[in-house]
Amino acid sequence: MFDFDMLGLAPALNDALKRAKFSQPTPIQNQAIPLALKGHDILGLAQTGTGKTLAFGLPLIDHLLAQPGKPDPKTAKALILAPTRELVNQIADSLRNLTGDTRLRVATVVGGQSINRQISVLSRGTDILVATPGRLMDLMDRRAVDLSSVRHLVLDEADQMLDLGFIHALRKIAPQLGTPRQTMLFSATMPKQMEELSRAYLTNPQRVQVSPPGKAADKITQSIHFVSKPGKPHKLREILSADKDALTLVFSRTKHGAEKLMKGLVADGYNAASIHGNKSQGQRDRAIKAFRSGEINVLVATDVAARGIDIPGVAYVINYDLPEVPDNYVHRIGRTARAGREGQAIAFCSAEEVDLLRQIQKLMKINIPVASGTQPEAVEPKKPTRNQNNRRRSFKPQAANGGSKPAASKGRRPRRKPAA
């Protein structure tokens, strides 16, 4: 294994890495950094928690340090797009730790925060802009940012951006960027759509893959508990009580479910908080900060946090509800066993979720060890009743642009168009 100082990085970066006590690069960093330093486009595939941020961040900073001059007002030299607010903030914090003693500036733009303040920050220009696609589009519409100077583009967790429907935003953002440019695309999974994305935005990319897509980190111990849906609350408390001080991340499928579960835990004396889409950005930031510091030790979350939490001390990830998208299971459990540590991923599976479990195991090409219970027969989701179907058919949207018009009300003649 090489040391960072053997990769050819700028002295300022090597000094920053030593201060942060980083000595040896991870496999994805070891392979990607030399190629990125040479200017190649990169398609990087690795599990969560393996150091993808430094894999693209270090060569990006190195390139920018070699470029003279400050950014012009409203411009950026490099753009990093990520799907969630939490991930944007996590990336920015990592980069600021490396650029603190340099002239480079790092700015973030995400939804849920004051857009006027972000406009003020961008008015001075920035070297590195880390953004969610939606808020960046808002700022572009207001002419608050000029992307024509961007010569480095990074798409982090690109598959989740596709899942969240950001492909349309990417198609609008990309033509506004400068050329020629270096593009780096990183993800933990490689669905077919992402192959198409890489062909559209990368030029002769170097593919860097340190593990098969869908594979979890080696130091994660996985287990499954077959338990009925009504039995899940008791099983969760049983597991939490066995290691009361451990940092535990619990995943719920829905926002309402996450909030209800958190409130029940707090009522039972557990030190818990929640983050999900109905929480403000300030509430989410405070919850993650409290979790990171150990002020709370149970964090209940939806998939909004599956890729936005980089806390090395997370000992347990509990899938209270199995995700409907198999790839999300890999991202969820990747919140533990980070930075070389060990961790446990525990999943609950009810009869309604047996098919979801099969899809997850098929993706990962493993059978998750059973910790308790017996696999039940799969239960088909309830089909809508006849009355529900009738109600759905009764609400037919009016077709736009020449579509069929709704029938005129009985007993009334349609209004005549006034003479010109």
Find out whether 81 and 133 touch, Cβ atoms under 8 Å. Answer: yes
Residue 33: name the closest of 12, 16, 15, 10 by CA: 10
Task: Please name the fold of domain 4-209.
Answer: Rossmann fold (3.40.50)
Does pLDDT of 253 surpass 50? yes
SS3 47: coil
Instruction: Give burial (CB, 10 Å; 0-12/13-18/19+) of 365.
Output: exposed
Does the structure show a pLDDT above 60 at 414? Answer: no
* Average pLDDT score over residue span 35-44: 96
**Amino acid at the residue 280:** S
Distance of CA 343 to the CA centre of its chain: 20
Q: Give me the mean pLDDT over the 213-223 stretch.
A: 77
User: What count of Cα atoms within 13 Å lies in the side-chain half-sphere of residue 283?
Assistant: 12
Residues 375 and 261: their CA atoms lie apart, in Å, by 24
The position carrying tokens 């973030």 is 108
CB atoms within 10 A of CB 97: 15
Between CA 321 and CA 22 the distance in angstroms is 36
Peptide bond preceding 27 in cis form (omega within 30 of 0) = no
> Do 4-209 and 220-372 share a fold?
yes
For 158-254, where are the alpha helices, taking DSSP H only? 158-163, 167-173, 192-201, 232-242
Residue 371 pLDDT > 60: yes
Work out the pLDDT band at 403, boundaries 50, 70, 90.
very low
Is the pLDDT at 78 greater than 70? The verdict is yes
- For a pLDDT cut of 70, what percent of the chain falls above it? 85
Asked if the peptide bond before residue 180 counts as cis, ω within 30 degrees of 0, the response is yes
Question: Quick one: 220-372 is in which CATH superfamily?
Answer: P-loop containing nucleotide triphosphate hydrolases (3.40.50.300)
So what's the pLDDT on residue 48?
A: 67
Q: Which of 133-142, 169-178, 396-405 is predicted least confidently?
A: 396-405
**pTM flag (> 0.85):** no
Return the pLDDT at 408.
44
pLDDT for 248 beyond 50: yes
CA atoms within 13 A on the CB side of 181: 24
- Please give the pLDDT value at position 133: 94
Min mean pLDDT across 154-168, 303-317, 354-368 is at: 303-317
Domain boundaries, the chain: 4-209, 220-372
Strands (E), 188-313: 206-209, 220-226, 247-251, 272-275, 298-301
What local confidence, expressed as pLDDT, does residue 305 receive?
Answer: 62
Query: Dihedral of the CA atoms 37, 39, 42, 44 (nearest 10)?
Result: 0
